[in-house]
């Protein structure tokens, strides 16, 4: 057997114990962290892994009123005028990271907070979609009513429900995190552990959730007089500015990357033409920048760039620490007094990334023919919607992936009979009302997906019931999100230590379905080759029942009575997918101790959980050219060879929290 291949894959069973925890890191949430433990067969002795406590249910978030237009600001009058409409920034209560627990690295803490933010965000996106749907229904009903009909004396004109709640689910998500203590509050001066130069945020609200910039609206983040209560800040003259966002909102800004002329806050017509409309004052963030200069306090600089992939239309990149070296007041372009601050980038930091940032656009080929090290133009042979090239700049001479037949459909042996297709919903066009859709009701409360980006799952579930072939809805129904085939440009590439791997040329948003695991359907009782590292147990039913140490995922689901009472399932998964000789690109996706994908079981044409489809979903926003991975989740010392000795396999994932051994 190829030793590199054995290094790349885990052993005869791919157990994905903690893979779904990656989507939800909430401290207090109804979205529970789930860690189903997968069974191994024959040579594997399974050991119990300690699991973190699942989160508790959250309350419905309070309404947050916020002007959707005012999302870019250097701070000042607009933020003040917003008053109670502005989500309050969390003041640090200590100089440590209160959210960090156990031995988790700072990187893991930040990722968990960001994932928690997007779990809440998608939840409130779904609420917003419902609100908009109701508003549209109310509007149609109003048009159908007679315009001349008088309203009853004690009656009221129906309110426009589209104006009753926030159109900013990100602000609702941020409010919920602040209320539950899930938003991070690290030491705010200088670098933030877990956030390196080049780190990208997809909104200002996300920055607040990660404890990186404490204002979702203001461009200047400063520590006010309340900061004197913090021991590490008590020696400073306050306010001091700790971070600024450069987004081109002020007409007097000048940005040469290493040397910045930054216009202070206040007096800007942020909701209009962005011109200065009154004089600025040396207060708040402006005074904070002056005090930072006087006291040599470094300032974090974040640059915003227009981007279609972000829900706010911008991506924000951390470019490192700068020092304020000078400031002055002058008459600006519009004739009003503005304060200018000159900042210089501190030496000894990683190379400035913003010039390259547009999500490594310069490195992404426009066509397959431009790829360096191309060894195969399309490993699928035209079977996928999009070609999947393979590259190899490691081997000499370079070789392409071999030893398997590409397939986009699960191969069912003649000795097996698939379950009968079940009747579907009566929805027409697209399924809209979860109360009327029989498929949505199977999921317990609502659809598992939101409409954004072609369908994104809100959180990992025990199983997702999708619409099937006998449903009345069409192919664009939100409840068919995983059935549309490959939508991202994937590449299989050779690595030095992990064999083959997979990355995407496209940005993949959190919760998006990426790929289904395809292989030959087999029974786990069969005599499988112990050296076959591409066998995937279908243990959906065990996860749903919480058997063998598995923790149940969020959401009540409906099971047929014969399955709910089937004691045979206590023995472990009955079926598995074998991608050793036949499979798709999912067979090349590697393990990581900090994965960006999670495993989700899906039912569509039938409701037999023993034969559920196995999908890989994005657990976080994945930038282009980032390797895709999920957690195989073996317990250490859990794999025993035919000779009875414990097998060990080194892990090469490179994650900050790497367990160093795969098993």
Q: What is the DSSP string of 103-135?
A: T--HHHHHHHHHHHHHHHHHHHHHHHHHHHHHH
More confident residue, 564 or 436: 436
Measured between alpha carbons, how far is 661 from 531 in angstroms, rounded to an integer? Answer: 18
pLDDT band of 84, cuts 50, 70, 90: very low
Question: Please, what is the average pLDDT of the chain?
Answer: 78
**Within a 10 A sphere around the Cβ of 288, how many other Cβ atoms?**
28
Q: Which is nearest to 65 in space by CA: 92, 42, 83, 40?
A: 83
What sign results for the dihedral spanned by CA atoms 562, 564, 569, 572? positive
Q: Output 661 or 640, whichever has higher pLDDT.
A: 661
How much is the average pLDDT of 109-131? 94
Residue 228 has pLDDT above 60, yes or no: yes
pLDDT at position 153: 43
Most confident of 351-355, 420-424, 546-550: 420-424
What's the pLDDT at 591?
93
State whether CATH 2.170.270.10 applies to domain 1-36+403-631. Answer: yes
Check whether 302 has a pLDDT greater than 80.
Answer: yes
Percent of the chain with pLDDT over 70: 70
Cβ-proximal residues to 85 (8 Å cutoff; 6+ apart), any chain: 64, 65, 66, 67
Supply φ then ψ for residue 629, to 5 degrees.
-160, 160
Higher pLDDT, 280 or 68: 280
| Stretch among 170-174, 312-316, 424-428, 555-559 having the lowest mean pLDDT | 555-559
* Percentage of residues of the chain with pLDDT beyond 90: 52
pLDDT for 469 beyond 60? yes
Does 52 have pLDDT greater than 50? no
pLDDT band at 15 (very low <50, low <70, confident <90, very high): very low
Task: Give pLDDT tens digits for 515-565.
Answer: 999 999 999 988 878 778 899 989 888 776 666 555 566 655 555 555 555
pLDDT at 36 over 80: no
The pLDDT assigned to 529 comes to 80
Task: Return the higher-pLDDT residue of 488 and 7.
Answer: 488
Asked if the model's pLDDT at residue 25 lies above 60, the reply is no
Q: Tell whether the model's pLDDT for residue 138 goes beyond 70.
A: no
Backbone angles phi, psi at 254, to 5 degrees: -140, 120
Give the C-alpha distances (Å, rounded to integers) separating 457 from 23, 228, 305, 479.
Answer: 10, 43, 27, 10
Q: Where are the alpha helices (DSSP H) in 196-255?
A: 204-209
Output the pLDDT for position 217. 85
Extract the tokens encoding 135: 């508003």
Q: Is 77-135+165-362 a domain of CATH 3.90.1300.10?
A: no
Q: What's the pLDDT band for 281 if we cut at 50, 70, 90?
A: very high
Q: Kindly state the tokens that stand for 10.
A: 């885990």
Position 152 pLDDT exceeds 60 = no
pLDDT at 307: 87
Which of 95, 419, 79, 48 is closest to 249 using CA atoms? 79
CA pseudo-torsion sign 66, 70, 75, 78? negative
The pLDDT value recorded for residue 115 is 96
Of 5-9, 399-403, 422-426, give the lowest mean pLDDT range: 5-9
**Least confidently predicted of 240-249, 286-295, 393-402, 494-503:** 240-249
Beta bridge mates, 616: 515, 599
Average pLDDT over residues 250-260: 65
Q: Is residue 395 predicted with pLDDT exceeding 90?
A: yes
Q: What is the dihedral of CA 509, 511, 515, 517, to 10 degrees?
A: 150
Whether pLDDT at 341 is above 60: yes
- How much is the pTM? 0.81
Candidates 244, 354, 233; CA nearest to 299 is 244
Domain with CATH 2.30.280.10 in the chain: 77-135+165-362
Give the DSSP letter of residue 61: P
Ranking 8-22, 42-56, 414-428, 569-583 by mean pLDDT, the lowest is 42-56
Banded pLDDT at 663 (limits 50, 70, 90): confident
| Mean pLDDT across 239-253 | 76
Largest CA distance in the chain: 88
Please compute the mean of the pLDDT values over residues 449-454 and round it to a whole number. 94
pLDDT over 80 (residue 72): no
């Amino acid at each position: 057997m190829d030793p590199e291949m054995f290094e790349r894959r885990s052993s005869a069973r791919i157990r994905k114990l903690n893979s779904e925890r990656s989507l939800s890191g909430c401290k207090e949430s109804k979205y529970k962290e789930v860690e189903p433990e997968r069974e191994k067969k024959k040579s594997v002795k399974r050991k119990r892994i300690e699991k973190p406590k699942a989160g508790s249910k959250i309350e419905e978030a309070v309404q947050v009123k916020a002007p959707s237009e005012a999302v870019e600001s250097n701070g000042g009058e607009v933020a003040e005028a917003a008053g109670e409409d502005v989500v309050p920034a969390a003041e640090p209560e200590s100089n440590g990271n209160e959210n960090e627990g156990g031995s988790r690295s700072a990187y893991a803490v930040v990722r968990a907070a960001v994932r928690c933010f997007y779990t809440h965000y998608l939840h409130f996106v779904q609420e917003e979609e419902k609100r908009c749907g109701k508003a549209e229904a109310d509007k149609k009903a109003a048009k159908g009513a007679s315009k001349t009909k008088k309203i009853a004396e004690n009656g009221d004109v129906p309110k426009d429900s589209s104006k009753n709640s926030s159109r900013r689910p990100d602000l609702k998500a941020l409010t919920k995190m602040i209320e539950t203590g899930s938003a991070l509050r690290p030491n705010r001066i200088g670098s933030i552990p877990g956030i390196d130069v080049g780190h990208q945020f997809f909104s200002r609200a996300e920055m607040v959730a990660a404890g990186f910039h404490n204002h979702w609206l203001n461009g200047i983040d400063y520590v006010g007089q309340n900061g004197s209560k913090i021991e590490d800040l008590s020696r400073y003259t306050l306010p001091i500015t700790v971070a600024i966002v450069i987004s081109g909102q002020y007409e007097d800004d000048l940005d040469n990357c290493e040397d910045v002329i930054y216009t202070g806050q206040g007096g800007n017509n942020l909701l209009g033409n962005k011109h200065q409309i009154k004089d600025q004052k040396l207060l708040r963030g402006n005074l904070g920048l002056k005090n930072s200069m006087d006291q040599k306090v470094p300032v974090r600089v974040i640059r915003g760039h227009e981007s279609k992939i972000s829900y706010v239309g911008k991506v924000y990149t951390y470019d490192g620490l700068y020092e304020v070296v000078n400031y002055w007041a002058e008459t600006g372009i519009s004739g009003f007094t503005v304060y200018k601050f000159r900042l210089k980038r501190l030496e000894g930091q990683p190379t400035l990334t913003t010039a390259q940032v547009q999500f490594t656009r310069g490195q992404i080929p426009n066509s397959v023919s431009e790829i360096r090290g191309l060894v195969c133009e399309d490993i699928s042979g035209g079977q996928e919607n999009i070609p999947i090239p393979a590259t190899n700049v490691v081997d000499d001479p370079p070789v392409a992936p071999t030893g398997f037949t590409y397939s986009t459909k699960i191969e069912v042996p003649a000795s097996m009979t698939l379950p009968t297709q079940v009747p579907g919903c009566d929805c027409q066009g697209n399924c809209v009302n979860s109360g009327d859709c029989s498929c949505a009701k199977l999921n317990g409360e609502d659809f598992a997906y939101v409409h954004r980006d072609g369908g994104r799952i809100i959180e990992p579930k025990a199983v997702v019931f999708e619409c099937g072939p006998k449903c009345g809805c069409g192919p664009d129904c939100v409840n068919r999100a995983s059935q549309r085939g490959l939508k991202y440009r994937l590449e299989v590439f050779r690595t030095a230590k992990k064999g083959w791997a997979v990355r995407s040329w496209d940005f993949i948003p959190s919760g998006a379905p990426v790929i289904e695991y395809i292989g030959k359907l087999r029974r786990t009782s069969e005599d499988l080759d112990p050296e076959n590292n591409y066998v995937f147990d279908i243990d959906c039913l065990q996860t749903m029942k919480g058997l063998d140490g598995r923790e149940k995922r969020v959401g009540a689901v409906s099971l047929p009575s014969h399955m709910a009472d089937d004691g045979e399932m206590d023995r472990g998964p009955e079926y598995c997918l074998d991608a050793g000789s036949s499979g798709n690109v999912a067979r090349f996706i590697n393990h990581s101790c900090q994965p960006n994908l999670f495993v989700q079981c899906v039912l569509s044409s039938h409701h037999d959980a023993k034969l559920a489809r196995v999908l890989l979903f994005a657990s976080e926003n994945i930038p282009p050219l980032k390797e895709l991975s999920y957690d195989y989740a073996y317990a250490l010392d859990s794999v025993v060879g035919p000779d009875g000795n414990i097998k060990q396999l080194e892990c090469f994932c490179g994650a900050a929290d790497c367990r160093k051994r795969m098993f």
